[in-house]
Structure 1
């Protein structure tokens, strides 16, 4: 069976393909490795750890994207977490609630030292993943046989 010409409209009807893309982006996020943020002047308490005020922290995205609190079995490539087949593997909808509640309850304004030009000029991109070689072979599908050898 031939599918004819592939078009964007057809890909929207392929939930597993979208799951593979989402899972690939989660585990191989192309965004900068970490975003620097400064602690509040009074500092922050994380459990038993105190971080003084005005300290720059950098949290790698990969830490959050593999965190089992947000992505159960987060170290595994599992496209089904995005297709609805295994909703227990996706708890990030809580993030949407957090964002919605935050913008509903707070006006988010530029801080006293906000300077858009400095922010744009000071933005740096980091690349931090060194991947080993991945050897793949692309074998044309044979009509009636969807598996490759």
Structure 2
């Protein structure tokens, strides 16, 4: 009889441990957290701008002025050549105390289009490829 009582007690203890174990496993199940949101267009653009060499030191505000204007020009059907043209768009990325070479200006344009008006990205890249600039 003592053997049955001891066996029963051992089985009950084992069952209790097993049930605790399964509850612990349920509590440690990976939670489904929403993925972090994508960086803002401003952050994407300014991060890319940090990789570009400028002659001088443009402020973030100066750099941020260009993408909305570029996107507006692209929305109006203008080309990259028109956008950067001195007589046309006049939107080459340059300030009173800073500037950049054309290859870097194209990189900045692509970064701005990618961040602010990505629906035009393919057309801009295609135009630059056709001219051998990208």
Q: TM-score range by the shorter chain?
A: under 0.3
Structure with a larger share of its residues in strand: 1
Q: Which is bigger in relative contact order (C-alpha 8 A, separation at least 6)?
A: 2
Q: Higher Cα Rg: structure 1 or 2?
A: 2
Structure with a larger share of its residues in helix: 2
